[in-house]
Structure 1
Amino acid sequence: MRFDIKPRHYDPVKEEIEQRTARIKHQLEADGVLSNGKNQDIEEAYRRAEGSSIRGAFTQGSPIRNKPSDLFSSAGMLRMIILLILVGTITGYLYWGIDALYTLLYIGIGIAVVLFLIRLKGKANE
């Protein structure tokens, strides 16, 4: 007698695709787009039902099209501001000493408080 083990492989991605396909097929059958007896192309029926196409689907969510409208939301602008603050702090310390650091610290805290109050006021108006 031989010992024979047949390995089983579980693929969660494949199973999820099959579940999604079955769910979409069931939904199309419920909407009357797909008939139970006929073997239509599911992709074509789904396109007719939803009116969607895959063309341009990947570019809709791209970060290039959805540029942030707020100045401080942009990552590049935020990096530039941080760089300017660091260069200004080091330059001020080298030329004027510790008094320049304290002055920049107080100015920075003042700007932060003003920005916080502006954002707080904007949220209160909504």
Structure 2
Amino acid sequence: MKFPSIFRTAQPMRFDIKARHYDPVKEEIEQRTSRIKRQLEADGLLPTDKEIEEAYKRDRESSIRGAFTQGGPIRNKPASIFSSTGMLRMIILLVLVGTITGYLYFGSEMLYILLYIGLGIAALVFFFRLKSKSK
């Protein structure tokens, strides 16, 4: 672990060699493709780099413009008690405190009772969600 300091310490020198290889086949392919690309651009069959950049800028600007002012699907959702993060934390805290308190006062049988109650509530929630989706 490094402690903060006002003095700079010397860093070891880094040795980095970039390997260079000459591949005549690759060089010939690159020259040929660049020559064909120039010919197609001169004939007008292929758009130039400038035209591609302008089209990319148009597409990028139009998708972002006004995105924050239009509002998204989040505003239209009905508020649920479980959608609030603070409320969900409160429910988890109450369940944990209740479980620990029940275990201290009633022993391990309380954990089984809470487990069965939790599974029953989960089954009811699943059933009602499944029933509401089928309508």
TM-score, scaled to structure 1: 0.50
Larger radius of gyration: 2
Q: Which has the higher contact order (CA 8 A, sep 6+)?
A: 1
TM-score, scaled to structure 2: 0.47
